[in-house]
């Protein structure tokens, strides 16, 4: 098991380019199953979760060709259905949360989809009801083998319909959209997730010949077509990584330029960092963050304590709350972090408390942070990364801390952040990867 040995207290300086969006990649790669023709995808992040999905597609019978470091071509002419019932398929899927999005395209094109209970971060309850209720609305039959924890969905003749999703699930919306594009008639999805990742998926499907309107809203209308063709698609930069770098710059009092961020797709993220007192400039499509000795959290207009909470897009993504929490530990002022979506995501705060942070964990969903205003630095310590986003938050804390920190289980960070140690070391960080 790999560890990061981090020497804190170094100020970073320079330019860094964010990787392609992990959450978009998982959807886009699954969508390549919808056509027997060649699909080229660019700006793919070379991270563990994405590489595992590419390898899974290859094992399923998809022809995969690497065109460049971040570009691949996929051709799903033939799928090995026997492999889908194998132990190897089961094991690969259970390591990967995104594997659940294989069902939608498989169902649309072949009339059947198999998937074991997917893996991913243990960050609380992540139910799949939305996915399967959507498939059932389209006319598919759903079967779950409790003993084997294996899902099977079958629907040879999917019919378009109206559906109101029980929650605005990103992966649920993506899965249902992919299942609907080849269904007969018109499908209307209300309370659809409208994150940039879903918008990108819809645009890619349209370029393949799908008929989708309402892209970017919570009401999608999909008119089924007989077949989809090949296309080329370039993924957005990863907004979570961009937010992580902004927080890292503030915590370490560093001067950093984040290159090619696709600023218009960042939504409320920049404004939320501004409310934390963090200064930055938009320079073309780059974000320049100057070195700041102090940053002060705003209060609400009535003087009450600032609350930062996650919400469906265009609200704040839950994946960044861990970063906002750690950034608040060195701010001037106090803030309430409210993680509404997942009940286990704040449990890493005990590591920050061990480092000297002033945090009150109110309940599984809420934590109050009293900032140190950089007057008292965090202390280096030994810690373990519980999930991707908490892992990078702990890395940010370690970079700003006094002394040496050791972060165990960094494979969790590798699942979402490409070559993060080398990229930060290039800016002046001191991170050593050891086995």
Q: What is the dihedral of CA 374, 331, 282, 13, to 10 degrees?
A: 20
Closest C-alpha to 220, from 194, 248, 182 = 194
Q: What is the dihedral of CA 112, 38, 211, 137, to 10 degrees?
A: 10
Q: How far apart are CA 115 and CA 83, in angstroms?
A: 12
DSSP for 182-227 reads: TSBSEEEEES----HHHHHHHHHHHHTT-EEE-TTSSEEEEE--S-
Closest C-alpha to 176, from 228, 234, 136 = 136
DSSP for 300-358 reads: -TTSPPEEEE--STTS--GGGHHHHHHHHTTSBSEEEEE--S-TTTTTTHHHHHHTT-E
3-class secondary-structure state, position 73: strand
Q: How many CA atoms lie within 13 A of 314 on its CB side?
A: 10
From the candidates 70, 87, 121, 310, give the one annotated as an active-site residue: 121
Q: How far apart are CA 74 and CA 77, in angstroms?
A: 9
Tell me phi and psi for residue 384, to 5 degrees: -125, 135
Tokens of 78: 């033939």
Helix, strand, coil percentages (3-state) for the chain, rounded to 5, are 35, 25, 40
Is residue 121 flagged as an active site residue? Answer: yes
20 DSSP β-pair partners:
237
On whether the CB atoms of residues 76 and 33 are closer than 8 A, the answer is yes
Q: Report angle CA 176, 71, 182 to the nearest 5 degrees.
A: 25
Which secondary structure element, helix H or strand E, spans residue 322, and what is its range? helix 321-328
Tokens of 175: 């899965």
Q: Which residues are catalytic?
A: 121
């Amino acid at each position: 098991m790999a560890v990061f040995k981090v020497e804190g207290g170094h100020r970073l300086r320079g330019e860094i380019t964010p990787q392609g969006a992990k959450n978009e990649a998982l959807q886009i790669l699954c969508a390549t199953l919808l056509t027997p023709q060649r699909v080229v995808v660019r700006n793919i992040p070379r991270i563990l979760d994405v590489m595992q999905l590419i390898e899974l597609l290859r094992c399923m019978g998809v022809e995969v060709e690497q065109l460049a470091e971040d570009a691949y071509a996929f051709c799903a002419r033939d799928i090995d259905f026997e492999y889908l019932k194998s132990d190897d398929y089961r094991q690969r899927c259970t390591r990967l949360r995104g594997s659940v999005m294989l069902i939608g395209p498989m169902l649309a094109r072949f009339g059947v989809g198999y998937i074991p209970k997917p893996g991913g971060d243990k960050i609380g309850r992540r139910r799949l009801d939305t996915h399967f209720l959507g498939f059932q609305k389209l006319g598919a039959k759903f079967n779950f083998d409790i003993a084997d924890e294996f899902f099977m969905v079958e629907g040879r003749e999917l019919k378009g319909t109206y559906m109101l999703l029980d929650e605005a699930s990103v992966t649920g919306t993506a899965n249902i959209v992919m299942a609907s594009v080849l269904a007969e008639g018109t499908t209307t999805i209300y309370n659809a997730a409208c994150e940039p990742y879903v918008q990108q998926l819809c645009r890619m499907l349209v370029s393949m010949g799908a008929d989708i309107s309402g892209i970017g809203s919570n009401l999608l209308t999909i008119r089924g077509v007989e077949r989809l063709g090949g296309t080329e698609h370039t993924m957005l930069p990863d907004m979570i990584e961009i937010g992580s770098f902004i927080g890292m710059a503030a915590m370490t009092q560093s001067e950093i330029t984040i290159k090619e961020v696709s600023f218009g797709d960042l939504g409320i993220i920049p404004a939320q960092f501004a409310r934390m007192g963090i200064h930055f400039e938009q320079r073309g499509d780059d974000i320049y963050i100057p070195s700041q000795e102090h940053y002060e959290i705003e209060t609400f207009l009535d003087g009450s304590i600032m609350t930062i909470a996650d919400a469906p897009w265009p609200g704040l993504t839950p994946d960044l709350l861990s970063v906002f929490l750690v950034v608040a530990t060195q701010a001037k002022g106090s803030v309430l972090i409210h993680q509404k979506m997942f009940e286990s995501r704040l449990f890493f705060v005990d590591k920050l408390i061990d480092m000297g942070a002033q945090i009150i964990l109110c309940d599984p969903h809420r934590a109050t942070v009293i900032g140190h205003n950089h007057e008292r630095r965090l202390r280096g310590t030994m810690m373990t990364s519980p999930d991707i986003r908490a892992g990078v938050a702990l890395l940010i804390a370690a970079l700003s801390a006094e002394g040496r920190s050791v972060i165990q289980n960094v494979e969790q960070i590798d699942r979402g952040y490409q070559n993060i140690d080398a990229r930060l070391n290039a800016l002046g960080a001191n991170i050593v990867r050891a086995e």
